[in-house]
């Protein structure tokens, strides 16, 4: 009897192996992306879901109508078909050309609708049904033979009947799983495409190339092109600067790519809407590298915040009672609770509105691509840092090169590039070929040297370029 069972088992496996391509093909209608369907509809017809998407419509001052704000081929990478390490029989992802048609607009934002995850889950569902059917069929037939060859054993027959019944119930549950899940919760079977807010890359070179260049003496010249009396009244759509656009810009200006990267990517990560909080600057202090004594980075806002003992919300913490010392106090673990573009817990879009943008203006903040800092301290800073009248009422602004840049201006590409390039020009002139002096100038004190040099030297290493002799102490 055991020999007969073994022969039957081999025969059963052979039949299933031969039938496998047919079982897979039966549930493998080519996938399209015309409309959102639930899982069972997808498993029957192969339809994937749809989504909505939008290209930014721009804002006042034509910041978003600038030709620099163009979509690059990065979308082709995002919507390319996933490459699976483990192949799923019957899984055919949508054609990227069809997925590209799902790019659409909604409320001044660009969205991509990605069907691949829903298609993957549908394929897993189909595969599981086939596997469950094979296992259930095997159990039923195996126990059928037990029943057939156990005529003299009522207990064995009863056990075989029980296992057959269990296998049939399991198979029924698998085949009716859609109806069961839909009854429990319709959202378990209505799986829509992933709707992704696409952050459009900025072709930075086209913007910078209009306002900056190298003169015949090798000096950086910056010629602002925007109206100095114009100020933006709206934020742009979320945009970012890519490493490719930074390289293009550096090539156009004939300046060091790593130098430009160390300013833009180090300061804001290429995020046009970045906000920096000097009161939160908790980098441990260290002796001044120029040997003049004292500790750096000595951030006025950090010291003032620690001495205040009070956060933006009114919450309190133990204040320092002695004179601020960067070496001693910078690393105290306390931070403010105003809006922060980098922190999920402090990123409330309802608060991020003009003119204050939910920021605690007792302290200085770095704004935009180059983290241009506005110092709201009064005194010697007041002539170049004050509130001015703009489209959004009284708004904090900084004067650079004889031009005022409001917070909203510094969140928009044309103005923030002008402000950043004007500061870079001044620091170029001051530092000449001394990189350490350049970073100290851009950051405001010697505290900016280590971070800038570390970023610059890492860029050299990444590009395969020779390292500077002083890179060793910043690695």
Residue 4 to residues 11, 147, 150, Cα–Cα distance (Å): 11, 14, 13
**How does residue 301 score in pLDDT terms, banded at 50, 70 and 90?**
very high
Q: Per-residue pLDDT for 374 more than 80?
A: yes
Percent of the chain clearing pLDDT 70 (strictly above): 77
pLDDT at position 68: 32
Residue with tokens 């833009």: 264
Q: DSSP per residue over 309-365, as a string? A: -B-TTS-B-PPP-S---HHHHTT-S----S--TT-GGG--TTT--TTTTT--TTS-E
Tens digit of each residue's pLDDT (9 = 90 or more) over 377-409: 888 888 999 999 999 999 999 999 999 999 999
147 SS3 class: helix
Residue 372 to residues 85, 411, 419, Cα–Cα distance (Å): 45, 10, 7
Q: Give the least confident one: 27-41, 106-120, 247-261, 309-323.
A: 27-41
Q: Per-residue pLDDT for 238 more than 70?
A: no
Q: Partners of 109 in the beta sheet?
A: 106
Tens digit of each residue's pLDDT (9 = 90 or more) over 161-196: 888 888 888 888 877 877 787 788 877 766 777 777
Q: How far is CA 75 from the centre of its chain?
A: 14
Terminal C-alpha separation, the chain: 75
Mode of pairing for the β-strands spanning 295-296 and 403-406: unpaired
Domain ranges for the chain, please list them.
1-30+116-192
Q: Per-residue pLDDT for 16 more than 60?
A: no
Please give the torsion angle defined by the CA atoms of residues 398, 402, 404 and 405, in that order, rounded to the nearest 10 degrees: -70
**Residue 51 in contact with residue 104, Cβ under 8 Å?**
yes
Q: DSSP per residue over 154-222, as a string? A: HHHHHHHHHHHHHHHHHHHHHHTHHHHHHHH-GGGT--PPEEEE--EEE-HHHHHHHHEEE-TTS-EEE
Tens digit of each residue's pLDDT (9 = 90 or more) over 255-269: 788 888 888 888 888
Tens digit of each residue's pLDDT (9 = 90 or more) over 319-328: 999 999 988 8
pTM score of the predicted model: 0.59
pLDDT at position 246: 82
Mean pLDDT of 408-426: 90
**Residue 418 in contact with residue 403, Cβ under 8 Å?**
yes
Mean pLDDT of 291-306: 85
pLDDT at position 73: 54
Mode of pairing for the β-strands spanning 200-202 and 104-106: unpaired
**How does residue 305 score in pLDDT terms, banded at 50, 70 and 90?**
very high
Mean pLDDT of the chain: 77
Percent of the chain clearing pLDDT 90 (strictly above): 22
Tens digit of each residue's pLDDT (9 = 90 or more) over 329-351: 988 999 999 999 878 788 888 88
Residue with tokens 């060793």: 472
Tens digit of each residue's pLDDT (9 = 90 or more) over 132-141: 888 888 888 8
Could you give the CA distance from residue 35 to residue 94 in angstroms, rounded to a whole number? Answer: 13
Could you give the CA distance from residue 404 to residue 400 in angstroms, rounded to a whole number? Answer: 6
């Amino acid at each position: 009897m055991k020999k007969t069972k073994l022969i039957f088992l081999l025969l059963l496996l052979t039949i299933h192996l031969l039938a496998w391509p047919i079982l897979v093909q039966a549930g493998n209608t080519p996938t399209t992306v015309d409309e959102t369907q639930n899982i069972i509809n997808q498993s029957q017809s192969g339809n994937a879901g749809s989504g909505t998407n939008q290209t930014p419509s721009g804002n006042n001052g034509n910041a978003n109508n600038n030709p620099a704000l163009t979509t690059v081929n990065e979308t082709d990478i995002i919507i390319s078909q996933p490459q699976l390490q483990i192949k799923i029989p019957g899984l055919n992802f949508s054609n990227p050309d069809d997925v590209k048609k799902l790019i659409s607009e909604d409320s001044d934002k660009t969205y991509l609708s990605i069907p691949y995850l829903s298609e993957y889950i549908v394929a897993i569902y189909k595969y599981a049904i086939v596997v469950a059917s094979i296992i259930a069929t095997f159990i039923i037939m195996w126990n059928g033979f037990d029943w057939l060859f156990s005529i003299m054993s009522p207990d064995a027959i009863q056990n075989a009947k029980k296992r057959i019944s269990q296998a049939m119930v399991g198979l029924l549950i698998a085949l009716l799983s859609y109806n069961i899940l839909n009854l429990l919760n319709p959202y378990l079977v209505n799986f829509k495409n992933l709707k992704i807010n696409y952050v459009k890359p900025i072709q930075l070179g086209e913007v910078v190339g209009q306002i900056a260049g190298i003169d015949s003496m090798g000096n950086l010249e910056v010629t602002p092109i925007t109206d100095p009396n114009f100020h933006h009244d709206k934020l742009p759509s979320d945009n970012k600067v890519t490493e490719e656009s930074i390289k293009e810009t550096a090539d156009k200006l004939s300046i060091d790519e790593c130098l430009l990267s160390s300013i833009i990517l180090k300061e804001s990560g290429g995020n046009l809407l970045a906000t920096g909080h000097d009161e939160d600057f908790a980098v441990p202090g260290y002796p001044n590298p120029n040997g003049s004594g004292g500790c750096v980075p000595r951030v006025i806002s950090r010291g003032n915040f620690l001495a205040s003992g009070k956060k933006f919300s009114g919450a309190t913490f133990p204040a320092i009672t002695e004179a601020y010392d960067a070496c001693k106090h910078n690393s105290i673990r306390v931070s403010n609770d105003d809006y922060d573009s980098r922190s999920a817990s402090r990123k409330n879009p309802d608060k991020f509105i003009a003119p204050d943008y939910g920021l605690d203006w007792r302290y200085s903040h770095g704004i935009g691509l180059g983290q241009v800092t506005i110092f709201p301290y009064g005194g010697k800073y007041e002539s170049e840092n004050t509130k001015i009248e703009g489209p959004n009422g009284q708004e904090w602004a900084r004067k650079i090169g004889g031009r005022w840049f409001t917070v909203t201006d510094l969140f928009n590409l044309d103005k923030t590039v002008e402000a950043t390039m004007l500061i870079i020009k001044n620091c170029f002139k001051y530092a000449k070929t001394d990189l350490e002096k350049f970073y100290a100038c851009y950051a405001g004190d010697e505290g900016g040297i280590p971070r800038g040099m570390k970023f610059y030297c890492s860029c050299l290493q990444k590009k395969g370029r020779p390292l500077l002799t002083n890179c060793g102490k910043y690695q």
